[in-house]
Amino acid sequence: MENPESLYIGLGIGSMFVLIAFFQIVGRNKSTTWDGTISDKKIENKRRRSKYDESWINYMRYTVEIRDDHGRIHSTSAEDDDTKYNYYKIGDRVRHHKGLNTYEKEDKSGDTIIFCNACSSLNDINEDKCVRCNCPLLK
């Protein structure tokens, strides 16, 4: 490969990485810190086609809806995993931290588990640091 060709390929790949980093920064800056209340919880029986063949797959979708203090509705859902559904109760106050995709429960006094806000892994309430990423747990 000649020198000008490799330069153009390098510039193309480098500009792709710069563009990806730009979109990540813009997306992170759109996120804000806000407080809200758990307003609703839903369990739905769902069905979808398999990726591998023509069969159908049945699954349960557990959804928790949060109404922030400005009246906007946010939701978090999981398929076939009711851990977050059982963790939050209707009326619980939660906080969404800027740059993170998790919701921190304000009153954790009766809980035996806690979610890491950095990696969303499940931890024992008595731990001070996350077992997976070693970040401090917010108590």
pLDDT digits 0-9 by tens, 82-126:
999 999 999 999 999 887 888 999 998 889 999 998 888 999 999
Both 113 and 95 in one domain: the answer is no
Same structural domain, 40 and 22:
no
Same domain, 19 and 41: no
CB proximity list for 49: less than 8 A, separation 6 or greater? 55, 56, 57
- Alpha-carbon gap, residue 77 to 85, rounded angstroms: 8
Residues 39 and 78 in one domain: yes
Number of Cβ atoms within 10 Å of the Cβ of 79: 11
Co-location of 19 and 38 in the same domain: no
Closest CA to 78 of 130, 30, 41, 114: 41
Q: What is the pLDDT of residue 1?
A: 65
Residue 3 host element (H or E): helix 3-30
Any idea which of 9-13, 22-26, 55-59 has the lowest mean pLDDT? Answer: 22-26
Torsions phi, psi of 7, nearest 5? -65, -45
Query: Do 41 and 21 lie in a common domain?
Result: no
- pLDDT averaged over the chain? 91
Asked if 124 and 66 sit in the same domain, the reply is no
Q: List the domain range (segments joined by +) for residue 132.
A: 108-139
Q: How many structural domains are present in the chain?
A: 3
pTM of the entire predicted model? 0.73
Q: Are residues 13 and 50 in the same domain?
A: no
Q: Is the pLDDT of residue 31 over 90?
A: no
